[in-house]
Chain A
């Protein structure tokens, strides 16, 4: 297992370098000059433009800029935003817990509902339940997040007034962040009602963000289960007289889990992309919104730093998924 871990870690280094080159060069391939954007319609003189470019190091050859950047990253310095002038790592660390909290809740919802739904649909293949579930999953998968989020806000917050419209917690509560996770911080604050408020703020955005992964997981679970349920060993297990619960829950489900775990791992990447839209709609102060704003402002350091950090996290998630395969199916370790 240790050798397996080392092999996987060794692959991460070139991947990380590749991502850093892509993150660095792609944003520079886009037309648009970050220095000119600082002044908008107000024209900047060529001298000032040159002066500011020099201050930001943007006048140096691209290769030099890249190595400067890489040198910084290795020592933990991701640079500062051109626009806000704040260190990128500080901003990322302040915003990332909000994205993690939202994505975590969403993936929990997606797994908790998606896997059982897929299993039931597989067992009752062709039934009304199966067909309607897969129909709903298809709709969920095709739903534009932006529209779906607004629809839920109008229904649950506007008309029914069950949930707050946006934000992470009611403005009545005010306490300094300890962990950055609002659910935990609200409990730590000891303020009455803070946790419930945080939870109610989390409900709609998690549901919106969970929608697509939920649909994908349900469909994937169903097809994996269908395949496994037709295997000989399942028939043998049934013939042995095991209870249907044991046959499905122990024998079939465990073997069907490998493609499902892969899907869940991939969905975490998809979720970070979905978080961009969800965060924008629900004014959720996470990294998705931060990155989008930076693209519009051509804030190179934020985009490349943010991309690299996000890619690093996705690589780690993939590593964990790989390790999980090993746990689910020991043959994969070799």
Chain B
């Protein structure tokens, strides 16, 4: 009997110690499945959270909680006087992850950089079309094929990028997930084995977590990368439990089945805040929703008319009705978390009488217009139709008749680009790299007319300011230029700026070390759990 008891006690203590020393597993209830694991191929944040951030590193990284690019795999860099040659000095001793399917024999070197970026821009690169139908959408969107003249290996730890023109946001672009650095040695081994497509399915990088396995639409597993070049992750295992429905994610978080979740329903936020087991983080998102007038069509070609209509929009009502308060009214085309945000600008006050008077003064009577409402919910605008109805209601009070129109999403995007489009279109933007250029020139520059510039607005003064800022290296000078550009924007009113939505992140009480990214990324290298 005694022996049995002792055995039982030994077993019990063994179990106890085993669990006490057991691995720390952090579970993230992610909102969707990654499209693949090669971040260069995709544009969705969901894919970057599952691939670019845990598995890979980049030459530069965004400092946690900010949009400032800081040293990553490159420990330093030099920019030539004319701003067209960037020379990066790589960190030495960086190891690629060892997995069940690949064991690296060498450390990171310049070949990996030339390979990772080169394949995205050179159409004759053998890896340019390694998956049929590859479009390298982000590299193209950031203008890399036209911008980058060459990428050269100077020595093992030095790589030189030569640009066709100076471009200040280039460093920030290199910190984006699409510019993740892959192992050329791994790619070569896959090529030799005739399994190129595996690069997108079984990833190897230099990031904080090593890929373990992916069960489609269900679970992605990672383990701590013991060889990580940065501060070692505090958790041993990272699990993405893919849960597409926001209400179900919330139930899982409540039940302790996951530690953190993205994108809660606005309606659930209050009860989340009341739950003693949860902490709710809040931050203004790097986004803007706007209504773009077609400034080439009468009567919207008149500043006074656009200004008058802007005065008749009750933004607070939109924020309350559409976001249940989880957004802030927007006065500028860039969000407040972005550097160079001009807080001195005063928004057009909601004043129906003044709006009506201004319209009369502008000689506009019995105006009928279309307001375009997006058919989909986006982070910056959860329900465009509801917003359009609020605008319709307000405009009716100043004698403007509004017809709300909508199309299927791809159709909407296509038709709203048309230079002859009638009325005003609701749309928005989520920042890519934290650079104001990514909003101001991309959405309002003269080159974007007929494309991203849905207001079809080409203002010389504004355009020269943002173009100058794009080629200026000095950030203080750039800040000034962008602040001025925002003053011109407000004066000319090509858009009615509607809102910046808040990014809400609920998590379990025991979670520490998680920093909300203004870019909307979810990264877990610094998180820890105490429960």
Contact = CB atoms under 8 A, between A and B. Distances in A.
5 contacts: A41-B452, A42-B141, A55-B133, A167-B218, A171-B27
A281 B248 contact: yes
B254 interface: yes
Contact of B247 (A52, A94, A150, A176): A150
A164 B257 contact: yes
A165 B251 contact: yes
A158 interface: yes
Contacts of B134: 55, 85
Given A38-B135, A43-B451, A86-B36, A283 B429 contact: no
A148 interface: no
Interface residues on A, range: 35 or more
Interface stretch (A26-34, A62-70, A265-273): A26-34
A-B pairs, top 3 by smallest CB distance, nearest first, are: A285-B217, A285-B218, A43-B451
A95 interface: yes
A153 interface: yes
Contacts of A177: 215
B427 A157 contact: no
Contacts of B239: 171
B229 to A, nearest CB: 27
Contacts of B129: 55
Contacts of B33: 293
B166 to A, nearest CB: 23
Given A55-B129, A55-B132, 16 more contacts: A32-B409, A37-B409, A39-B137, A39-B141, A41-B413, A42-B141, A45-B451, A55-B134, A85-B36, A85-B41, A153-B248, A166-B251, A167-B219, A171-B219, A176-B213, A177-B215
Contact of A48 (B35, B140, B248, B430): B140
B274 interface: no
Interface in B369-399: none
Contact of A33 (B36, B410, B417): B410
B66 interface: no
Interface centre among B27, B200, B252, B430 (most CB of A within 10 A): B252
B8 interface: no
Nearest to B130: A85
B428 A41 contact: yes
A87 to B, nearest CB: 9
Interface string A124-166: 0000000000000000000000000010011001100100111
A164 to B, nearest CB: 7
A324 interface: no
Nearest to A91: B216
Nearest to B41: A85
A42 B43 contact: yes
B27 A31 contact: no
Interface string A82-111: 111110000100110010000000000000
B243 interface: yes
Contacts of B174: none
B221 interface: yes
B461 interface: no
Contacts of A36: 410, 413-414
Nearest to A163: B255
A84 B36 contact: yes
B407 interface: yes
Q: Taking each of A36, A40, A91, A154, which has the highest tally of chain B beta carbons within 10 Å of its own beta carbon?
A: A40
- Which size class do B's interface residues fall under? 35 or more
B222 to A, nearest CB: 12
Contact of B251 (A38, A158, A280, A289): A158
B408 A48 contact: no
A45 B141 CA distance: 9
B411 interface: yes
A168 interface: yes
B131 interface: yes
Interface string B187-213: 000000000010011000000000001
A171 B25 contact: yes
B133 A56 contact: yes
A83 B35 contact: yes
Contacts of B277: none
Interface of A: 30-34, 36-45, 48, 52, 55-56, 80, 82-86, 91, 94-95, 98, 150, 153-154, 157-158, 161, 164-168, 171, 174, 176-177, 280-283, 285-286, 289-290, 293, 298
A52 B133 contact: yes
Interface in B250-272: 251-252, 254-255, 257
B220 to A, nearest CB: 11
Contact of B414 (A33, A52, A153, A280): A33
Contacts of A281: 245, 248
A289 B244 contact: yes
Contacts of B135: 38, 48, 52, 55
Contacts of B309: none
A52 to B, nearest CB: 5
B181 interface: no
Nearest to B428: A41
Interface string B415-450: 001000000000111100000000000000000100
A31 B247 contact: no
Contacts of A174: 213, 221
B319 interface: no
B305 interface: no
A31 B452 CA distance: 21
B168 to A, nearest CB: 20
B255 A165 contact: yes
Interface in B153-206: 197, 200-201
Nearest to B247: A150
Given A41-B428, A83-B35, A157 B132 contact: no
B427 A41 contact: yes
B217 A290 contact: yes
A168 B448 CA distance: 47
Nearest to A287: B217
Nearest to A54: B133
Nearest to A158: B251
A190 to B, nearest CB: 18
Contacts of B252: 165-166
A327 B454 CA distance: 66
Contact of B133 (A48, A80, A176): A80
A45 B447 CA distance: 12
Nearest to B129: A55
A42 B452 contact: yes
B255 A157 contact: yes
Contacts of B245: 280-281, 283
A48 B244 CA distance: 32
A52 B448 CA distance: 21
B241 interface: yes
